[in-house]
């Protein structure tokens, strides 16, 4: 049976999930496998940072072992690292050293929704890069 839906959490009850965009299939696998394909096997750190601004997000992105960052609330950012267990202590120290006040921090596994957002974002970045290359030629 096929289920076609915009309810991303419905993927979790399916054996396989496909992500389609503009008539192309971007991904097809078990939902948990897709999540585990994210950096650090889909594990993320969720930080609430006091007065989170775009400038602060850019500073966070400068940490060398960050693979992905997503702003998910006014003061909340989710961070994917190369290896959470190895680099989390260094990241926390980096934030402190750069005067980024951590209000709260939690470790979590990405949701299928988060995988979808990241995958679509990657696709949009590829398209923008192609458009920019065409404009400069």
Per-residue pLDDT of 47-71, as tens digits, reads 999 999 999 999 999 999 999 999 9
**How far apart are alpha carbons 91 and 102 in whole angstroms?**
11
The Cβ of residue 73 has, within 10 Å, a number of other Cβ atoms equal to 10
Q: What's the average model confidence in pLDDT over 11-24?
A: 89
| Sign of the Cα pseudo-torsion (102, 86, 33, 120, in order) | positive
pLDDT at 128 over 90: no
**103/20 Cα distance (integer angstroms):** 37
Question: Phi, psi (5° rounding) for residue 73?
Answer: -170, 175
What's the confidence (pLDDT) of residue 135? 76
Closest CA to 41 of 122, 125, 109, 90: 109
CATH topology of domain 8-118: Alpha-Beta Plaits (3.30.70)
Q: According to the model, what pLDDT value does residue 33 have?
A: 96
Mean pLDDT of the chain: 93
Edge-to-edge strand list for the sheet holding 102-109: 66-71, 76-81, 43-49, 102-109
- Beta strand spans in 31-101 (E): 43-49, 66-71, 76-81
pLDDT at position 137 is 61
- Residue 94 pLDDT exceeds 90: yes
CA angle 22, 42, 103 (to 5 degrees): 110
- For residue 136, pLDDT over 80 is answered with no
Average the pLDDT over 30-39 and give the result: 95
- pTM of the predicted structure, to 2 decimals: 0.85
- When pLDDT is averaged across residues 36-42 and rounded to a whole number, the result is 95
| Residue 114 · residue 44 · CB < 8 Å | yes
Indicate whether 114 pLDDT > 80: yes
Answer yes or no: is pLDDT of 117 > 80.
yes
Q: Which region among 45-49, 112-116, 128-132 has the lowest average model confidence (pLDDT)?
A: 128-132
């Amino acid at each position: 049976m096929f289920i076609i839906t915009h309810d991303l959490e419905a993927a979790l009850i399916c054996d396989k999930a496909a992500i389609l965009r503009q008539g192309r299939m971007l991904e097809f696998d078990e939902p948990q496998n897709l999540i585990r394909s994210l950096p650090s096997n889909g594990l993320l750190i969720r930080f609430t940072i006091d007065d989170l601004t775009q400038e602060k997000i850019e500073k966070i992105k400068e940490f060398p072992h960050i693979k992905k960052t997503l702003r998910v609330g006014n003061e909340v950012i989710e961070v994917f690292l190369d290896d959470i267990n190895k680099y989390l202590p260094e990241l926390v120290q980096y934030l402190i050293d750069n005067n980024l006040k951590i209000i709260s921090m939690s470790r979590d596994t990405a949701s299928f929704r988060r995988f979808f957002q990241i995958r679509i974002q990657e696709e949009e970045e590829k398209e923008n890069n192609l458009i920019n290359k065409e404009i400069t030629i």
